[in-house]
Structure 1
Amino acid sequence: MCRVVDLQQAVLAKNDGLAASLREDLMDRGVTAVNLLSSPGSGKTALLELLLTWATERGIPVAAITADLATENDAVRLARSGALVKQVLTGGLCHLEADQVRAHLDGWLPDGTRVLFVENVGNLVCPASYDLGETLRVVLMSVTEGEDKPVKYPTAFGLANLVVLSKTDLAEAVGFDEKEFAANIGRINPGVEVLRTSARTGQGVETVLNRVLAACDGSPPHRPPLAGAHSHGHVHEHMTASEPAS
């Protein structure tokens, strides 16, 4: 009898095992890994540059891996923060995998690093299925992308520990409906924390950094990375999944 093997499940299972091992190793070293996911153009790199800059200015040892299909533009940009930064070129692959992250960390990540940011490839489809050994998964979207983004990409938003709404300084100009957005988030990931930010004005950036540092100090995320079921967790006062900010 022939046995049909689901190759996708096999690949994901192998990745999950590698990710779990990497997460354990990083935790043993006192490193909190943050996986940043978003669509292209959402402002992910701009936010990360500010997070790295603010952390560096406060003497918090941070590092970042940034992934892209081509060019080292993002690494050059992020290095302006003064943090340790490494570019990963995927050669056309639309996502990072746990073994790639480990390979680039070996011999590179200094002892004493508190936070490792991993800027995933700009894409909300493939990266959503791959655990990278992160402690905190942050999914970012801008107000210019529309209120229905969470229901269009339920895997990405449903597995988020934290959702960041960016470019909020443009919300009024583009007619962004925060009530509808919050309702959509609530349908996909009930109780997930949503933070409002603007890289242009600096709004909310320190709050995001503090949330990451809270994860470093043992404050549990909304739910374990890539766990199947949703659970209710901490809701930030700026916005919840069922109540838009005033």
Structure 2
Amino acid sequence: MKYNKITPFLKWAGGKRWLTGKLDDYLPKSYNNYIEPFLGSGAVFFSLEPKTSILSDVNQSLILTYNTIKEDHVGVYNRLQEHAVKHCNDYYYEVRNQEYQNKIELAARFIYLNRTCFNGLYRVNLKGQFNVPIGSKDKVILETDNFKKTADALANAEIINSDFEIVIDRAMEGDLVYIDPPYTVKHNNNGFVKYNEQMFTWADQVRLSKAIKRASDRGAHVILSNADHQSIRDLYLEFGKIDSLSRNSVIASDPLNRGKYSEILVTL
């Protein structure tokens, strides 16, 4: 694996930067297409830099941002620099409330809000409007930014706004599928934040497990990260290898309230 070659340009609740250095033991020696149906910050994708891939998410604004960087990374970065110069409390809410039509404006706005909002959360109201308050971080341009390298990595990727099942059903023999869904457990008893208008339900978790089984039966390599909860383990006990991994939680406003918790990695 190519460690830290490209740093994801987004901070994402539940992001998998911490996992990329631990995946070597779970990856196949070779694979054809790379498929990721819950893209988020794309940490695993950027760490692997696959030759061809299908990247997807139900978050339409997220997918628009990726596609716009792929098509015109210079335009997006230049507009982001303009946001950086103007950034302050009032300007944040002005941009948050602004409705843009231009793709470059929309992509730069998405990145700007992601970097300056509270804890990098993505949350919308019932009208689909982003409503996360401003956070404490004020760096809009980061030292790790390399939008050209990001665009190059995305050059051969098909990036689509789609339901996960449709994308997973495209996985064929020899493909690698990495899946990192919202961590909903049975009875929806969990502390994670939904990032799109419709909650990822327990029924979706069941539907996901069936799609994963079908992909595996077709000969695809599948890696799933999910909540370490018995209800999730029960879904994969009969057909997946389950390992538990520990990580530090960063989803808390007070660092003293952040602790370690475990997630599971299911491989098929």
TM-score in terms of structure 1 length: 0.31
Q: TM-score by structure 2 length? A: 0.29
